[in-house]
Amino acid sequence: MERDYPLERVRNFGIIAHIDAGKTTTSERVLFYTGAQHSIGEVHEGATTTDWMEQERERGITITAAAITCFWAPSYLTDADRLKKESKTRFNVIDTPGHIDFTVEVKRSLRVLDGAVVVFDGVAGVEPQSETNWRYAEEAQVPRICFINKLDRTGASFERSYASILNRLSKKAVRMQIPIGEEDKHDGVIDLLTMKAYYFEGNMGMTVVPKEIPENLKADAEKYRGELVERIVENDEGLMTAYLEGKEISLPALKETMRKAVIANKIFPVLTGSALKNKGVQLVLDAVVDYLPSPLDIPPVKGINPNNGEEVLRHASDAEPFSALAFKLQADPFVGQLTFFRVYSGTIESGTYIYNSTTGNKERLGRIVRLQANDREEVKKVFAGEIAAAVGLKEAKTSHTFSDEANPIILDQITFPEPVISLRIEPKTKADQEKMGMALKRLSDEDPTFRIKSDTETGETVIMGMGELHLEIIVDRMKREFGVEANVGKPQVAYKETITAEAEVENKYIKQTGGKGQYGHVKLKIKPLPKYDPEEKVPKNAHREEGFEFIDAIKGGVIPQEFIPAVEKGVKEAMDRGILAGYKMVDISCELNFGSYHDVDSSEIAYKIAASQAFQEAARRAKPVILEPIMKVEVVVPEKFMGDITGNLSGKRGQIEAMEDRNELKVVRAQVPLSEMFGYVTNLRSMTEGRGSSTMEFDHYAIVPTNVATTIIEQRTGGKA
């Protein structure tokens, strides 16, 4: 079986944006114009293809990333040429959520995509989640095209939104289009490279009609084209010389240089339009073909050979050994567990065995499907550069690598943010109890930012997630998909503990019981660990992971090597229950530098207990503190409520960072502790006569003030502070 589309005509890209910027509306237009569906579903009618979960349709938001495969021939070709197969490019598109509680979907999607279309609201411009998504794209080095959407809305301004991209995201952004009219006068767009005005006519704006630029916009178009051409030729010495000599640069040369610059993340082209009013989307698709990379344009993927620890590369080629990354699990009501994976090199066929190099086990790959959101198309073989889903793999988890068994590779893991909010949950009946455990496990396999733990003291189950909405959706899914009824407690903040000083403690654990006794003797030194940087070189005798470092500094074998892992395990277990209020301890470096052993009585359990006790004592001496999640909050209100809002945020221990105007409204940006923000949306509505809105996302952990820490400790320990 041969590949049906060559690699240079494949584009893997995501559509990312802040909530309500029009991502899903744009995705629906993509499906319609590419012929993947025959009608357009609207978010406000609950009829979209990519928002297929009941919870998404009820709330009008995207919760889970949806994958779509479709085909596009650029609109600038003739009708006859557009029908030819060789003119078409295969799009593997992922529509991602914009709500901060589901940010995991954006992060993992960007890990496996080659490019992104970043959608902005033409009224609001850059919003908090736009910044977070942009940061994720920067981390993944993903080339981007910007699309300023909703230019038909009252208060829309292309120039203001474009300025917010330059000021808050990147100076590398450059206008590629300007709008013809704004708000209710928005008729089309002007392309600055071709110097043509484009209008969208016929059924749902299906026909792209190029015309002459309106007289009143010619001067602006000339000026901005000059800026665009300058930015393009800067990336090529030959073109730069020709340009300075006053020569006219040809359109193909400009497009080719622009493509290289976009792929190298040196230029982010900015396009515009209105997806809802069917204006401009086809030109975004043309730009995806012209400027976003194919799998051949991106650097080879790096990984580690698990057999010898050496770095290996895999190029995007069917001829190379097979390698793929599982980036998402999804429970499907019809076929069971789906494992989404991106193939980086080689090919895989259904009916063969797939080797999981992360676990070292093999599983039979029964069926492979290509996804059209919640519809499935079965395929026999997947090739390099493609995205597909495997049906029924039992052991695969998010971030696992699949590879050729004879040429194994483990690709970099996807790192996920830590949950910041928790709540207690209990089944309503005995029948629910058994089902609840299974449901929670399935949901946590799907979503790495959703965690479950048991409270050892009370025996209760605690679930943890990224926000109130995140946990609300989880509980709702348990009820609908798994038939589990549960009682839910109030949301709680996921505090953490750490230390602020160094301390050294020696501890012996000796127990004589007549026969063989127990003997463990350790000396530990602990100190605060600076923020973990994966690029930082770790000393040879140290073992490092997020928030913890263990250094084995034992000399002369005073503790035998086989007992060292037991010491590390004892320290880790002690860190799980902090010494102030029982919260998990983080950002600690622990050095084991001395101890002794007994020929007969020493055992792993003795060293584990000795280490655990020594760590707890050292932590008490090392000035422990409680850490709380600080949220980035953006509030948009009419000017007359400004004083009330800033006063209210300051009263919540918030720090006001910036205030700016957005049309007739005021925008307040602040950093506020999560513990102060429960129920804020309701309070905001009552303070602003229902006219205020806010968004909130996790920013960082910070030390809790002493008076607040005392209250937290009293609540957790029943007054035994």
In this predicted model, what pLDDT tens digit does every residue of 157-193 receive, in sequence order? 999 999 999 988 889 999 999 999 988 899 999 999 9
pTM: 0.71
Across the chain, mean pLDDT equals 83
pLDDT of residue 63: 38
- Going 134 to 194 to 29 to 391, the CA torsion angle's sign is negative
Most trustworthy range by pLDDT among 7-11, 128-132, 486-490? 7-11
Question: For residue 53, is pLDDT > 60?
Answer: no
Question: For residue 555, is pLDDT > 60?
Answer: yes
Per-residue pLDDT tens over the stretch 217-267: 999 999 999 999 999 999 988 999 998 888 888 999 999 999 999 999 999
Nearest to 299 by CA among 80, 143, 472: 143
Q: Which residues contact 654 (CB under 8 A, 6 or more apart)?
A: 633, 670, 671, 672, 673, 676
Per-residue pLDDT tens over the stretch 678-693: 888 778 888 888 778 8
Q: What percent of the chain has pLDDT over 90?
A: 31
What average pLDDT score do residues 109-135 get? 83
Q: Which residues contact 686 (CB under 8 A, 6 or more apart)?
A: none
Q: How confident is the model at residue 612 (pLDDT cuts 50, 70, 90)?
A: very high
What average pLDDT score do residues 211-218 get? 92
Which amino acid is it at 424?
R
Question: For residue 481, is pLDDT > 50?
Answer: yes
Q: How confident is the model at residue 559 (pLDDT cuts 50, 70, 90)?
A: very high
Q: Give the lowest-confidence range in 555-564, 687-696, 699-708.
A: 687-696
pLDDT of residue 539: 67
Question: For residue 59, is pLDDT > 50?
Answer: no
Per-residue pLDDT tens over the stretch 627-651: 999 988 888 888 888 999 999 999 9
Q: Which residues contact 305 (CB under 8 A, 6 or more apart)?
A: 311, 312, 408, 409, 410
What average pLDDT score do residues 14-33 get? 76
pLDDT of residue 460: 76
Per-residue pLDDT tens over the stretch 373-398: 446 678 888 888 888 888 878 888 88
Most trustworthy range by pLDDT among 68-72, 379-383, 605-609? 605-609
Q: What percent of the chain has pLDDT over 70?
A: 88
Q: How confident is the model at residue 456 (pLDDT cuts 50, 70, 90)?
A: low
pLDDT of residue 458: 63
Most trustworthy range by pLDDT among 29-43, 314-328, 680-694? 314-328
Nearest to 146 by CA among 277, 273, 256, 10: 273
pLDDT of residue 298: 87
Question: Who wins on pLDDT, 647 or 5?
Answer: 647
Question: For residue 61, is pLDDT > 50?
Answer: no
Provide the β-strand partners of residue 697. Answer: 632
Residues 21/119, Cβ–Cβ less than 8 Å: yes
Burial 277-291 (b: 16+ CB within 10 A, else e): bbbbbbbbbbbbbbb
What average pLDDT score do residues 416-443 get? 80
What average pLDDT score do residues 497-505 get? 94
